[in-house]
Amino acid sequence: MQTLRASKCGLSTAQLPSYILDVIDALTKAGYEAYIVGGGVRDLILGLNPKDFDAVTNATPAQVKEVFGRRCRIIGRRFELAHVYAGRELVEVATFRAPPKKAVTSASGMILRDNNWGTIEQDFVRRDFSINAMYYQPRKGIVLDFCHAIDDIKNKTLRLLGDPTLRFEEDPVRMLRTLRFAAKLNFSIAPEILEIFTPELTQLLRDISPHRLYDESQKLFTMGHLNRVLPMLIDFGIWHQLFADISPDISTFIERAAINTDQRIQMGKTINPAFFYAVLLWKPFLERCEFYLSKGVVPAEARAQAGLDVLKRQAIRTIIPRFAETFIREVWEMQTRLLNPKPQQIQSLSTHARFRAGFDFLLLREKSGDDTTQGMGVWWDAYQQMSTDEKERAISQYNRQRAKSRRKATTDDVVETKPVAAITEIEPLVNEPEPRSRRERKSRTKSERPVQSTSSNGSEIGYDHPILKRKRVKRDLSQVIFGPTQ
Ligand code: ATP
Ligand code: MG
């Protein structure tokens, strides 16, 4: 073990927010050892902005609770931790851990319980990567480095502590962490990890709860280097473990969304991690819609059912929380609304809670070459920049065009005998196909029959009468009520 001077590592208390110093000071004052450890130390040394600060101490969670009282909550069963609330921030305070006892590991070697308290040396070997195992005591101005982690930082190398196979077996999530840190820090993965990191080994992730995998997927999405990690997920066979039904192929749409997410994070903008799930699952969703449509299900119902199916399938791997699921389905549903809005609804649509996300999604689709958006992404983009008068003009122009394309659709339908669905107004997201079920076809022919018979009887309502044509314009999509579909 070497003790490094914090200043030599580029660390100073001035970089630290007061809340983490308060936690360290309170524990020290109560007679315990306390250090900052993990990503906070690593990122500060690398000159990055740490996401959070984690503390570690020789006080047990119960003792930490005694020090902080109501500001502290003990959480976790497999991995018991103290959460200390310092102002508006939360600091995770872990207790030094000793190696787990044999009895608490699963048949595949996975650690099921890990609450065996120990010394700092024992705690160090329990950590994942060397660069995550530096202990910083800011008041003493020292960093304890047990494994020349500082050299790995200098050489930009991600090295697991101990035998890599064993460490992955103990906790397969470390495979995800390997890719996350390699992408985030732009570090190379040590050869001894690369050697054993096979797609077969990623099968171990099947033992991880879909809740934990969802949390990890969120960390991948929000670390600021999503675009870099996506191909790595495919290369290392992780993609398949996280997104079983999404083909391992980074489409332009997915890539653009990833770049966009990273840029937003870089600019300090908020992102909703569920948005990227909406992007990833878009293709499976459309395919599922097609499936229902081909069975003759009406479009609104097809979309609702497809959304449910796709999210249910994804939950086998990562359980997306209910609120995020609702968000995803609303973003998808917004696609239909934004693509084919009723003129009188345009204004209220633009102030809808899900408008922004739905619009971003639509624009991303359009910019990725998806021409089914029919230029409506750009239309909405321009609309938002307009003054009230301009908006009114844009809406009436849109209305005229809409009417024109409707008329054209009906005329063409008669003249060129094209199917109406191919040329009606702005195409809905999901095209309504010719009904395939016998019952649907029957009901359609029924509704057409009286008109045809009138016509054949030589009545005034002829074959090309406008009423006839209007009736054939598909309308049911405008009846779709926006909102979380059941
Ligand atoms: P981030 O920037 O994402 O917060 P981090 O390294 O701080 O990165 P955390 O998940 O906050 O990651 O964990 C804090 C520390 O706890 C890690 O640096 C590491 O030392 C240890 N740790 C976390 N998860 C594991 C794990 N699965 N196996 C071993 N050690 C872990
Ligand atoms: Mg952390």
Within-domain flag for 72: yes
Instruction: Work out which ligand 1 atom sits closest to the CA atom of 39.
Output: 7
Domain boundary among 391, 414, 437: 414
Question: pLDDT grade, residue 410 (50/70/90)?
Answer: low
Question: pLDDT grade, residue 42 (50/70/90)?
Answer: very high
Mean pLDDT of 45-51: 93
- Give the predicted TM-score (pTM) of the model: 0.80
Domain boundary among 381, 414, 447: 414
Instruction: Work out which ligand 1 atom sits closest to the CA atom of 51.
Output: 2
Within-domain flag for 283: no
Residue 472 in this model has a pLDDT that exceeds 50: no
Residue 407 in this model has a pLDDT that exceeds 90: no
Contacts (Cβ under 8 Å, ≥6 apart) of 383: 346, 350, 391, 394
Within-domain flag for 469: no
39 CB near ligand 1 (under 6 Å): yes
Q: How many domains does the chain have?
A: 2
Exposure string of 71-87, with b = 16+ CB inside 10 Å and e = fewer, is bbeeeeeeebbbbbebe
Summarize the chain as % helix, strand, coil (round to 5). 60, 10, 35
Within-domain flag for 387: yes
Ligand 2 ion local residues (Cβ < 5 A): 38-39, 52, 54
Lowest model confidence (mean pLDDT) among 116-130, 328-342, 411-425: 411-425
133 CB near ligand 1 (under 6 Å): yes
- What distance in angstroms lies between residue 481's CA and the mean position of ligand 2's atoms? 43
Ligand lying closest to the C-alpha of residue 168: 1
DSSP 409-447: HHHHHHHT---GGGTSSSPPSSPPPPP-SHHHHHHHHHH
Q: Give catalytic status of residue 54 as yes or no.
A: yes
* Tokens representing residue 56 in the block: 């570690």
Q: Which of 43, 114, 123, 128 is catalytic?
A: 128
Q: Provide the mean pLDDT of the chain.
A: 84
Mutate to test the pocket of ligand 1, among 56, 105, 132 (most ligand atoms within 8 A of CB): 132
Question: pLDDT grade, residue 475 (50/70/90)?
Answer: very low
Within-domain flag for 239: no
Find the length of the chain. 486
Domain boundary among 129, 155, 181: 155
Q: pLDDT, tens digit, for every residue of 293-325?
A: 999 999 999 999 999 999 999 999 999 999 999
- Identify the residue with better confidence: 452 or 239: 239
Residue 447 in this model has a pLDDT that exceeds 70: no
Within-domain flag for 94: yes
Within-domain flag for 161: no
pLDDT of residue 438: 53
Instruction: Work out which ligand 1 atom sits closest to the CA atom of 170.
Output: 28
54 CB near ligand 1 (under 6 Å): yes
- What distance in angstroms lies between residue 2's CA and the mean position of ligand 2's atoms? 23
- What distance in angstroms lies between residue 422's CA and the mean position of ligand 1's atoms? 54
Instruction: Give the residue from 12, 40, 3, 53 showing the smallest Cα distance to 139.
Output: 12
Q: Residue 10's domain spans which residues? A: 1-155
Within a 13 Å sphere around the CA of 128, how many CA atoms are in the beta-carbon half?
20
Within-domain flag for 36: yes
Question: pLDDT grade, residue 414 (50/70/90)?
Answer: very low
128 CB near ligand 1 (under 6 Å): yes
pLDDT of residue 483: 36
Q: Give catalytic status of residue 128 as yes or no.
A: yes
Q: pLDDT, tens digit, for every residue of 379-396?
A: 898 888 888 888 888 888
- What distance in angstroms lies between residue 76's CA and the mean position of ligand 2's atoms? 16
38 CB near ligand 1 (under 6 Å): yes
CATH classification at residue 77: 3.30.460.10
Query: To 10 degrees, what angle do helices 210-222 and 226-235 make?
Result: 130
Question: pLDDT grade, residue 111 (50/70/90)?
Answer: low
